[in-house]
Structure 1
Amino acid sequence: MNAFVELPTASLIEKMSNDEYHACPEFSSSQLKDILRSGAHFYSNNIIKENERESKKHLDFGTLAHTLFLEPEQFHNEFAVIPADAPKPPTDVMRNAKNPSEDSIKRVQWWDNFAAEHGTKITITEDLLLGAQRIANNLRTLSSYKVMENNYGMAEASIFFVDPVFDLRLRVRPDYHIAPCSAFPNGLLFDVKTSTDARPFKFSKSCSDFGYDLSASMYREGFQQYYNTPEKPDFIFLVAESSAPFNVKQYKASDLFLSVGDVRYKKSKELLAESLLLDEWNGYSKEMEDIYLPSYMTKQALENDFN
């Protein structure tokens, strides 16, 4: 049974499936990132849904590692491991052959039985499982994991709240959070990420590319609204590389990081509220603009010229 607690402007559902959460009408951080790119992107992705997001059936390696680290008890409910000695999946030609070979018949039967046994679970290989297990084990060596163990918290709790300025109904689903306590009066938020490269100069670019700053700001606001804390919580990234040796890092979002996120988060809400009010979903500006190289390239060129 879902634990449901309601406050005047915010509510929390502790146990809610991913499918249920993503079916909710409230706006998510992904949608706010769409509107920040352009109204046309928001309209295309979220209103007429021309670019339907990939279904859960498509495996995200990060989702597997996330489950093993934060919700290992859910693993067998969501994933099915393909045995190492399983036959190769049958091709469409094999399935549709009028006179299939004995080998084709066995392969089709094996995979049909496997699908019937495991239903809609995500299928993974043993090698993929071993890699995700190494990630989960490496993440448990971080000091943040001890904090998570020693303080009451929740994985994947869904928070619903209302923006006080633009009256937008919003939702967030932090990977893990620690509830306000004596050690953390404002609580603490954790976001688990997989990355090809967890080093600071590489992961900071991922933060920019994927709008992690905006998400952090939105999560912090929803958390504060629900728990009614004096200040917003700190925000921690737990980052694991997605290939061997599966190194891990932990980062605290800096004040500057969060300030930039707050500005972009506020702007996205303003744009969405205006677009909803006017029912106008504009694309990019059609004006002619100058284009520049990234600032670091300009800096390198100038340094080479003068040294």
Structure 2
Amino acid sequence: MNTAAQQNPFDLFGDAHTQTELQLSQAQPETPDFDDFETLYLEPKRSNIQGIAPGIYYDLSNRDYHRDQSISKSGLDWIDENPSQLIWSQNAPRDKDKEAALDFGTAIHTLLLEPDNFDTQFVIGPDHARRSNAEKEAWAKFEAENTDRNIITPDDLRKLKIMRESVFAHPVARMIFEADGYNEASIFWQDKETEEMCRIRPDRAINFNGRPIIVDVKKVEGLDRFEKHVEEFRYYVQDAMYTDGYERHFGVKPEFWFLCVSSSVSAGKYEVEVVQLPDYWKEAGYEKYRENLETYTHCRRNDDWLHVRELERPRWAK
């Protein structure tokens, strides 16, 4: 094992870690040994001309992950809404001036899972309002000098740090980051039934007492809303696809947990909870995941992307 592999890459409080891209032998899936999982990955992974090859990648950038031609859960979300929307989502231009100045979900995600990238993605703006002309000019100059980073206020940073500390105050959440595991690894596989290349990028994968567990961090506006978010944002489909992708690669079915972090204060605290879905909700997610993947396969193979969605009359109008 090389020197980098001998070092502990999992520092709970954000020290730098880098892992070489390594390849699991494709001859037969193996259950990951988290006590020494680097030994499972034998050769540097290479991308083929058609896209990224099946396997697990520890150092693949988020940008390269999203640029791959394989289908992801977010792509299946568009398919479920209307297949034409998938093509639109890939080609529509962004109005960067109208995008939110700070996405707290992205910020807390980065602070928890990619702390070494926080300073490269976010910068603290001037500690004053933008009332006077001088203050407005100072902000304009600062924004012009930091076009490549998200600007946050000192109060934003204060809130984010409290949210992060709140996560580590929760015993299960803290265990998630103390257990052997890795963050932001990308898994690619070819679905046997449809032959489509698929991809997932779990926030964190751990081993807890011999149990493989996938963990996804969700920022919510109050934990009492999370059940609604599971349906609205199709988190139950994510549960199914991520579980399937992990099992297809490693040959073992993991548990799937959501680490929920509230961005709204309750009794002066940002609430944190770790939850999982019941079996019947997981089964519904798997059925929807397979249905969406089959629809995608049909559309791609037949170049069938011209779809007009038929609206349903609202209940109150009936």
TM-score normalized by the length of structure 2: 0.74
Write the distance in 1 (CA, Å) between the matches of 2:95 and 2:54.
27
Q: 1:204 to 1:114 in 2, by over 3 A?
A: closer
Write the distance in 2 (CA, Å) between the matches of 1:107 and 1:291.
46
Write the distance in 1 (CA, Å) between the matches of 2:187 and 2:102.
25
Q: Is contact 2:125–2:139 with CA below 8 Å preserved after alignment?
A: no
Kindly indicate whether residue 71 of structure 2 is the aligned counterpart of residue 43 of structure 1. no
Write the distance in 1 (CA, Å) between the matches of 2:195 and 2:291.
14
Larger Rg belongs to:
1
Q: 1:248 to 1:53 in 2, by over 3 A?
A: farther
Kindly indicate whether residue 145 of structure 2 is the aligned counterpart of residue 124 of structure 1. no
- Once the two structures are superposed, residues 220-243 of structure 1 have per-residue CA deviations (whole angstroms, 9 ceiling, x without a partner) of 1121222222xx211111111222
Q: Determine what percentage of the aligned residue pairs are the same residue.
A: 25
Q: 1:281 to 1:53 in 2, by over 3 A?
A: farther
One-letter amino acid of the structure 2 residue matched with residue 251 of structure 1: V
Partner of 2:6: none
Q: What does 1:25-44 correspond to in 2, within 5 Å? A: 25-44=69-88
Q: Secondary structure at the match of 2:70?
A: coil
Q: What does 1:83-232 correspond to in 2, within 5 Å? A: 83-85=126-128, 88=130, 108=137, 111-112=140-141, 115-116=144-145, 118=146, 120-179=148-207, 183-185=209-211, 187-199=212-224, 202-229=225-252, 232=253
Q: What is the deviation of 1:52?
A: 4.8
Q: 1:254 to 1:119 in 2, by over 3 A?
A: same
Partner of 1:6: 23
Write the distance in 2 (CA, Å) between the matches of 1:236 and 1:291.
34
Q: Which moved more, 1:2-11 or 1:24-33?
A: 2-11
- Once the two structures are superposed, residues 3-51 of structure 1 have per-residue CA deviations (whole angstroms, 9 ceiling, x without a partner) of 22334373122123222222222211100111011212223223xx236
Write the distance in 2 (CA, Å) between the matches of 1:24 and 1:166.
18
Kindly indicate whether residue 273 of structure 2 is the aligned counterpart of residue 249 of structure 1. yes
Q: Secondary structure at the match of 1:247?
A: strand
Query: What RMSD in Å do the two structures reach over aligned CA positions?
Result: 2.9
Q: What is the deviation of 1:161?
A: 1.3
Q: What is the deviation of 1:115?
A: 4.2
Q: Secondary structure at the match of 1:140?
A: helix
Write the distance in 2 (CA, Å) between the matches of 1:176 and 1:53.
31
Q: Secondary structure at the match of 1:243?
A: strand
Q: 1:89 to 1:191 in 2, by over 3 A?
A: farther
- Once the two structures are superposed, residues 75-106 of structure 1 have per-residue CA deviations (whole angstroms, 9 ceiling, x without a partner) of 21221111314x7399xxxxxxxxxxxx66x8
One-letter amino acid of the structure 2 residue matched with residue 271 of structure 1: T
Q: 1:80 to 1:89 in 2, by over 3 A?
A: farther
Q: Mind listing any 5+ residue stretches in structure 2 that lack a counterpart?
A: 1-17, 27-52
Q: Mind listing any 5+ residue stretches in structure 1 that lack a counterpart?
A: 91-102, 294-307
Q: Secondary structure at the match of 2:264?
A: coil
Q: Secondary structure at the match of 1:246?
A: strand
